Structure 1
């Protein structure tokens, strides 16, 4: 076995062990514990829990997300977990950025060329079903995530969940 394959196998073994210790934990924390990337953790989730779309689908997926109503938008780095609730404004390409502006607390500029893929994640998080769309970079981390929101009873909002499932399922068959 060559070193590259051995390292890959070692990484997968560590990732599997770390996920086994806390299967419904924070993906970034599980990845850090295993010394792998969040993408490597998403890759070993049970079948159907992480559905990957090509990076070329960035704009189409974003456009669909603009119809979901208020979502939970999260940027998770080593230094901050920033959460913002709001609708996703439509975006447009310009000057090397995907620009989002509108009547929402969510706005700014996304370097969409850095997006390597988009992953639909449907898994347990601290004992409850969680559904989200992760815009992944080439380093194996989430640029940002868009979550299906919860209602006052902490249940996933039905209409958003249906939209998530329909969009995710459209990429299962590709």
Structure 2
């Protein structure tokens, strides 16, 4: 029986077990170990650790994050974890893509229609608080993530953290 064909309670049980074993681990690694999707791991995080917004909020959330200053942009696949630091340029839609260009190392084209939800994640990661925005696809994986950056002392940058929290809180009750 394939993992996706298994009853939900079996999948949830495996996810809960691996999360209990390593609650501050890499979500994708936990998901792989439990044979579930990253989205299923995010769903079982403690209350408030993962706040999800509808896909229709893509443009508004992106636009807000363009004011955050330099962020950490991550694309995590089974083959690579690509990290880029820079500010998010404004985007525009055209030819079926959300196009981002500007004076930043972060640029390219996003298949916005593949985004099924956006999740604000606020959890411990290797013993430290980590805050990020995950743009999720229909397969239950992150298309990409935007992280609040850290300063020289490895603390979350206060101004950016405040912007993350304000944006997340706009969607917390939705």
Aligned: 1:40 with 2:40: yes
Unaligned stretches of 5+ in structure 1?
none
Rounded Cα–Cα distance in structure 2 between residues aligned with 1:173 and 1:81: 32
Alignment of 1:115-134 (within 5 A): 115-134=115-134
Superposition deviation, residue 151 in structure 1: 0.1
Query: Which structure 2 residue ranges, 5 or more long, are not aligned?
Result: none
Matched residue SS, 1:159: helix
1:162 equivalent in structure 2? 162
CA distance in 1, matches of 2:6, 2:35: 15
| Counterparts of 1:172 and 1:36, CA distance in 2 | 25
Which digits, 9 at most, give the CA deviation of each residue in 1:36-75, with x for residues without a partner? 0000000000000000000000010000000000000000
Q: Partners of 2:20 and 2:11 in 1: how far apart? A: 14
Deviation at 1:173, TM superposition (A): 1.9
Give the SS at the match of 2:167.
Answer: helix
Alignment of 1:60-71 (within 5 A): 60-71=60-71
Structure 1 residue 5, shift from structure 2 partner: 9.8
Alignment correspondent of 1:24: 24
How far has the Cα of 1:141 moved from its partner? 0.1
User: Once superposed, which parts of structure 1, at least 4 consecutive aligned residues long, lie more than 2 Å away?
Assistant: none
CA RMSD of aligned residues (A): 1.1
The CA distance in 1 between the partners of 2:121 and 2:173, in whole Å, is: 16
2: CA distance between counterparts of 1:158 and 1:34?
34
| Counterpart secondary structure, 2:53 | strand
Q: Distance in 1 between matches of 2:6 and 2:83?
A: 38
Cα deviation code 1:103-133 (max 9, x no counterpart): 0000000000000000000000000000000
Q: Distance in 1 between matches of 2:6 and 2:27?
A: 24
SS in 2 for 1:165: helix
How far off is 1:6 after superposition?
Answer: 6.5
Q: What residue number does 2:94 align with?
A: 94
Shift of 1:17: 0.2
The equivalent of 2:106 in structure 1 is: 106
Aligned residue number for residue 136 of structure 1:
136
Using structure 2 for the length normalisation, give the TM-score. Answer: 0.97
